[in-house]
Structure 1
């Protein structure tokens, strides 16, 4: 989804004030000179990643988990640098429907409120996933019709609550195995593969305007898993099932090599008539970090950003948290980390500079 040009909240306020002064000056027959503050802004404030992405009609965002919002230094930078955010956990099923038919949108609403206060848009994540499901759902015994009813009710309530508040939904998350077969989650085993089309149709009925995505990891380049999604989306389109986009998570690791054919993979999905986006990008390394690893990481961030900019329907990039201060990587991959463009002290790393350079180059190409 293309994002209209927008600056951080404080800049917008100053710009509006400057415009009002200029208009008054014109009415009085005076020359409307730029304000000193506007001149200072123009000379000293570098464009943010999102502002650079906007020059090519894209967005640049960062995920956030609710406890991170209490870190005011972190939250302030998040609000200034990025144009979109994705709730890391608080729109998932265990958070939004902890008891059957009892919904709790407190956590998701907090992220929505933060985003609105900072002029950001929100990606919804996620309506169904095999993880972070409530016990009442996973421990129950359901017939096909019962589980379809439960899934429909969940999707309908969540999507209607956030209608007009999110611009996209990861409707179905991580539904394929590495070999391209369907993951045998509770929905597949009980309902069959038709649950994917059902979920997309129910989401569209609940919000006709929101963009609907499938989302997964290890699909960045050409391979069995991305082939399976290509075939699935092609079939969904043929069956007139509403599908607007494919999200490539982009959880990469230096020790495994950069996936081959990223641009070609993006383009083939775009050729199906759907948007593509990097939805959870991070590039981890084996610790400790050193200059060589950071340089390689920067090169990868630049290449991923450039690949997106070279595909017209690649609409944006979201890093999965922007700073190593709050990264999920060390807690999941022992001995790995340093995966993000900012370090623990919220200082730019070479990766940040590489992303900026790629965005600037992409804007110049048009």
Structure 2
């Protein structure tokens, strides 16, 4: 039995660097062809080395969800950062002020209350993007008049400069066909453009979501893309038709530790390595190169799979599993291992892991 990556213990997060670099180049090409700025979200990888690859390929800056992520990336030399999250509380505002001394920082918000706290704590104007709810129903007011009214209120706040509108079409993950996905993407953009018209003035149009990015970039009026998952992809992106097994760069290297029944095998990667996001969805996690194997369920330290009776992997065999959602998986490891051509190439520090504040 040939043992892949014998230097590594399991479970380990491995990143196919050739695939990741191809994904980075492809999305950079999409943005360049349409004249749209690319600002990838680093929540997927949380690794300064991967962020540097994205910036070197033409990204204008990065997006972070939390101040802690932004601080880690600024420490690594990232100088243009959007924190796509409302910041509240004195500790965070003090950290934001310190971060703004060493990087260009914009933030997003969806309330006057957050804007007022930002302005009151700032020595000079803070650039903000107002978040719009285009269908996810998470943050933001609905597009059109409700958001235009909010923008008018925020514009009155001293030392707060509204520079754009922002949205995240996370509801695109629930689409079931390319036509439906395209419709979500186009609606996301047109809603923002119409809202910007009602707001008056020149506003940036910043859209996110890996599934919708390629469609949204082609709609006139978009100024910025913020996809994250595209850099690694995952089983969800494969299900949505925007990735393939070959472009799924992040995998969990795992070992078969038991064959307790003829049609069942168990690996040493459970929910603490693979995340339980998407559990129950057909094909929610995949065994790379082994379509005859299916993963049934996860407990914390066990991954339970199914195979045809008296076939399938042997105890001690190593498998590469494509997770359902790459972003939380990166947050489960201190170190990832970059590989090329089946060989270990380098260690990758997951520096922003656990930076949830």
TM-score w.r.t. length of structure 1: 0.46
Q: Which of the pair is proportionally richer in helix?
A: 1
Larger RCO (CA under 8 A, 6+ residues apart) = 2
Q: Which of the pair is proportionally richer in strand?
A: 2
